[in-house]
Amino acid sequence: MLKKKLLFGLILLIFVSFRSVAVEGMWLPSLIEKNIEEMQMLGLELEALDLYNEDGTSLKDAIVRFGRGCTGAFISPDGLLVTNHHCGYGVIQSHSSVENDYLTEGFWAASRDEELPNPGLTITLLVRMENVTARVLETIDPNMDERERNRAVREISRTIADEAKEDGRYEAMVNPFYYGNEYYLFVYNIYRDVRLVGAPPSSIGKFGGDVDNWMWPRHSGDFALFRVYADEENNPAEYSNDNVPFIPDHFFPVSNRGPEKHDFTMVYGFPGSTQRYLTSDAVKYIVESENPMGIDIRTRVLQIYEQEMAKSDEVRIQYASKHAGVSNAWKRWMGENRGLHRLDAVNVKKELEREFDQWAQSGSMETELYRGLMQAFEQYYTEYLPNRFAMRLYFEAGRRIEIVRFAEQFAQLVTLSSEKNPDQEKIDVEIEKLKRSAESFFRNYNSDIDRRIMAEMIRQYMKYAGEMVPPVINDLQSKYDENIEPFVERVFKRSSLVSEEQVMELLENYRPRHYRRIERDHAFQFARELRSFVFGEIMPAQQKYDSKLDSLYRLYTAGLRVMKSDYNFFPDANGTLRISYGRVEGSYPRDAVQFLPFTTGDGILEKAAQNEVEDYRISERLETMLENRRYGSFANHDDLVVNFIASNHTTGGNSGSPVIDGQGNFIGINFDRSWESTMSDIMFDPEQCRNIAVNSQYILWVISQYAGMDYLLDEMNIVLE
C-alpha cells in the first residue's frame, strides 16, 4: 500500500513539474477524502474535514447557491456575499431605468440603509448531505419496468426528503447520481432577504461583453456584492426592516497576496450539468445536428435584437439580459463543436465503446449484465434523436417568440372558465397570477422586436422541422411559404395579448364567458396549436425515451466503474455542491501560441484603445486610474492582475464560485471557461481546459480605489501573506 502511494506521489511529482496537471472531475464534498491526497500533493494545506464537516464548521458553510443558476461566497462575518456581475445582472437591471441606469453606471450602497432588496431572489446553504442509496434501492424490485422504478424512486425520495425537512425548518431533496446507481439526500436552508450592496459599471463588470465571452485573455471585473439578512435568531426570514445581517458559520478571508503560477486552486460551488458519459451516437448528434441548428437560429435572433437595441436606450436596457442569455449558449456551442472535433470525440467514444463491448462479451459472470448494451444504445438513439431534435426546435424557435410563451400562460384560465360550473375562486387566483406575470412580461417587452422574431422563427421552424413538423407550421408553409410577414402582421394587429393595456383590461373585467375571446385570440391560437403538437406528439414519446435513456446509462456507468475499477469516475454535475481542483496555469491553445495565466490593467487599456469595439469602452475615470497605475496596495509584481486562469473542471452554475488557495483563502471568483475548454461538459482535456477567474485583488481595488467603498473592505478579513 505504502509503496503504491509513494509511486503515485513520484509520478505525480514528475507530472506536476512538466505538464499540465488539470484534474477532471467535480467531486462530492462529503467524499473528498478520496481526492485529498492528490489535492495535498498539488499544494492544499487543509484536511478533508476542513473542506466539509457536518459536525463542525468548514469551508462549505461559506458557499451558497445564488438564485437558481449561480454560486456565491461569504466574505465577511456580516453576511457580505460575492458573486458574479452576470449572476446579479437581472437583479441589477430590475433596479435600473433610463434615469437610474445601474447597469451602465454601477451601483454602490454607501451604507447598509441604501442596500436594495430583491424579492424572489434566494440564497441556499447546504446543511448536510447523506448517501441514501441503500434506502432508495431497497424499495426497488429488479423486475420493475422503468416507469414503476421511477415511481418507486420518486415516492421513497419524497419520504426521505420530508423526514429531513424537520417540519418545514429545511428544504430537502434526493438526487440521483450516476443515472440512479446512487442517491444522495441534500438538506438546505433558504434565505430570502438578499440585498444588493454593490455592482461595478458594466464597463468593468461586463468588460469585453459578448466579444470576449468564453475567451482568454480576459479583463472582466465580473463581480457583484450582496448581503444576506436573517431574523434575530440568525434564521431565514422574509424581507423585513427588522432583519439583521446573517452571520455565516464560516466566511472566506480575502487574499491580497496575488496569485502565482502553479498555486493550488480549488473551485467550490454548484455546477449545473455535465454529460461526461454520453455515447458516440449522442456526441455525433450534438455536433452535427443540435448545435448547428441552435447556432444558426440564435445568430438570427441576435441580429434582430442588436438592430433594435441600437435604436433606443429603453430597448437596450429592456433586452440587455435577454441578449446576454441568448448569446451565451450560442457562443458556447460554437466552442464546444470546435473542441469536440479537435479531440476527435466521436471516435474516442467509439473506441471506448468497442472496449466495453469486448469486455462485456468476455463471458464472465461479472460482465454478463452488460452484454448487448452498446447495441441497445445504438438502436435507442436511432429512434430517439428525431424526437429530441423536435423538442429542441420547439424551445429554440417556438418559444423564442415571446408572445407564444406569454400566450401559453392563458391556457389554464381558458380551461377553468370553460368548465360546466366554473370555480370562481380558482379563476380569481389565476387572474391574479396572470396580472403579476403580465406586469413583469411587459416591463421588458418590445412588440416590434417580437414581431420580427416571430416571422424569423416561423421560417426557421419550416426549415428545420423535417419529418416532425407541427401541423400549424405546415399550414403556414403551404399558405405563405417564406413570406410569412402578412400572417405575423395580422397576429400582432388582432391579438389583444401583445399590449399591456388590453391584457390588463381583459383581466380587470374578466368573466368566465370571456374565455371565448381568449380562445379566438390569434396569438393564443398559434401558441396553443404549437403546444398541442408538443404535448400531444413529442412529450409523451419523450418521457418514454427519457426513462429508457436512464436505464441504459445506469447500466453503462455501472459497467464502466467495474471495467475500470482503478479509475475514480466523477458523477455528472447535477446542481449539487461540488469541489474541483487544479492550479493556476496557462496553456498552449494553438500552434505557436501560449496562454499566460494572468491579465493586467495594461491589457484593459490595450483593448480600450480599439475604439470601434463597443464592449471595450471604459469610463474616463478607469482609464485615468489605469494610465497612472494607481493600484493602491492591490498590485502584484507592480501590475494590477485582473483575471487569471487555472485548471479546474467547471461548468455553468460554477459562476460566482469562489476560487480558493491551499490555505482556504478566497483568491478569486470563477466566471467563465476559455474557448478551448467549452467542450468539457462532454469531454475534458487536461491540456486545454482552463476556468477563468477575477483576481480577488482586482475586486478589492474596484471596491476601494474605483468606488471608494472602503467600509466594505473594513468588514473583510484581508490576507496579505
Q: Is 391 exposed, middle or buried (0-12, 13-18, 19+ CB in 10 A)?
A: middle
Binding residue (CB under 6 A) for ligand GLU from 226, 673, 676, 679: 673
Could you tell me what percentage of the chain is helix, strand and coil, using 3-state DSSP and rounding each to the nearest 5? 50, 15, 35
Given the rule CB under 6 A, which of 131-139, 206-214, 531-539, 660-668 is the region that contacts ligand ARG? 206-214
Cα four-point dihedral sign 687, 691, 697, 702: positive
User: For residues 76 and 274, which CB has a smaller minimum distance to ligand GLU in the complex?
Assistant: 274
The item of ligand ARG, ligand GLU, none sharing an interface with residue 210, based on CB under 5 to 8 Å by kind, is ligand ARG
State residue 134 phi and psi, 5-degree precision.
-60, -45
- Cis upstream peptide for 217 (omega within 30°): yes
SS3 of 450, please? helix
Locate 125 and state its grid cell.
446553504
In whole angstroms, how far apart are CA 219 and each of 142, 506, 583, 603, 694?
54, 49, 20, 7, 8
Buried b / exposed e along 442-454 (16+ C-beta atoms within 10 A): bebbbbebbbbbb
User: For residues 394 and 671, which CB has a smaller minimum distance to ligand GLU in the complex?
Assistant: 671
Q: Report the candidate in 597, 719, 588, 607 with the shortest Cα–Cα distance to residue 666.
A: 719
Given the rule CB under 6 A, which of 135-143, 205-213, 280-288, 401-409 is the region that contacts ligand ARG? 205-213
Chain residue at closest Cβ approach to ligand GLU:
655
Q: Report the candidate in 73, 76, 93, 95 with the shortest Cα–Cα distance to residue 84.
A: 73
**Residue 246 binds ligand ARG (CB under 6 A):** no
Given the rule CB under 6 A, which of 202-210, 344-352, 561-569, 679-687 is the region that contacts ligand ARG? 202-210
**Residue 681 binds ligand ARG (CB under 6 A):** no
Q: Is 501 exposed, middle or buried (0-12, 13-18, 19+ CB in 10 A)?
A: exposed
**Residue 671 binds ligand GLU (CB under 6 A):** yes
**Residue 214 binds ligand ARG (CB under 6 A):** yes
Answer yes or no: are the C-beta atoms of 451 and 494 closer than 8 Å. no
User: For residues 43 and 668, which CB has a smaller minimum distance to ligand ARG in the complex?
Assistant: 668
> Cα separation of 703 and 700, whole Å?
5
Find the binding residues for ligand ARG in span 68-97 (CB under 6 A): 86
DSSP code at position 597: S
**Residue 316 binds ligand ARG (CB under 6 A):** no
Binding residue (CB under 6 A) for ligand ARG from 12, 140, 315, 324: 324
For the CB of residue 228, give the shortest distance to ligand GLU in the complex, in Å. 20
Given the rule CB under 6 A, which of 324-332, 387-395, 574-582, 596-604 is the region that contacts ligand ARG? 324-332
SS3 of 453, please? helix
For the CB of residue 71, give the shortest distance to ligand GLU in the complex, in Å. 8
**Residue 652 binds ligand GLU (CB under 6 A):** yes
> Cα separation of 224 and 221, whole Å?
9
**Residue 697 binds ligand GLU (CB under 6 A):** no
What is the set of active-site residues? 86, 222, 655
Residue 425: its H or E element? helix 424-443
Given the rule CB under 6 A, which of 115-123, 153-161, 633-641, 644-652 is the region that contacts ligand GLU? 644-652
**Residue 653 binds ligand GLU (CB under 6 A):** yes
The item of ligand ARG, ligand GLU, none sharing an interface with residue 650, based on CB under 5 to 8 Å by kind, is ligand GLU
Distance, CA of 504 to chain centre:
34
Q: What Rg, from alpha-carbon coordinates, does the chain have?
A: 27
Residues facing 225 on adjacent strands? 82, 198
Binding residue (CB under 6 A) for ligand ARG from 210, 281, 430, 572: 210
Given the rule CB under 6 A, which of 292-300, 396-404, 648-656, 695-703 is the region that contacts ligand GLU? 648-656
Answer yes or no: are the C-beta atoms of 646 and 262 closer than 8 Å. no
Residue 386: its H or E element? helix 373-393
Binding residue (CB under 6 A) for ligand GLU from 202, 279, 655, 695: 655
For the CB of residue 574, give the shortest distance to ligand ARG in the complex, in Å. 17
**Residue 651 binds ligand GLU (CB under 6 A):** yes
The item of ligand ARG, ligand GLU, none sharing an interface with residue 205, based on CB under 5 to 8 Å by kind, is none
Locate 496 and state its grid cell.
389583444
Find the binding residues for ligand ARG in span 647-676 (CB under 6 A): 652, 655, 671-672
User: For residues 41 and 324, which CB has a smaller minimum distance to ligand ARG in the complex?
Assistant: 324
**Residue 67 binds ligand GLU (CB under 6 A):** no
User: For residues 330 and 706, which CB has a smaller minimum distance to ligand ARG in the complex?
Assistant: 330
Residues that bind ligand ARG (CB under 6 A): 86, 206, 209-210, 213-214, 324, 327-328, 652, 655, 671-672
Residues that bind ligand GLU (CB under 6 A): 650-655, 671-673
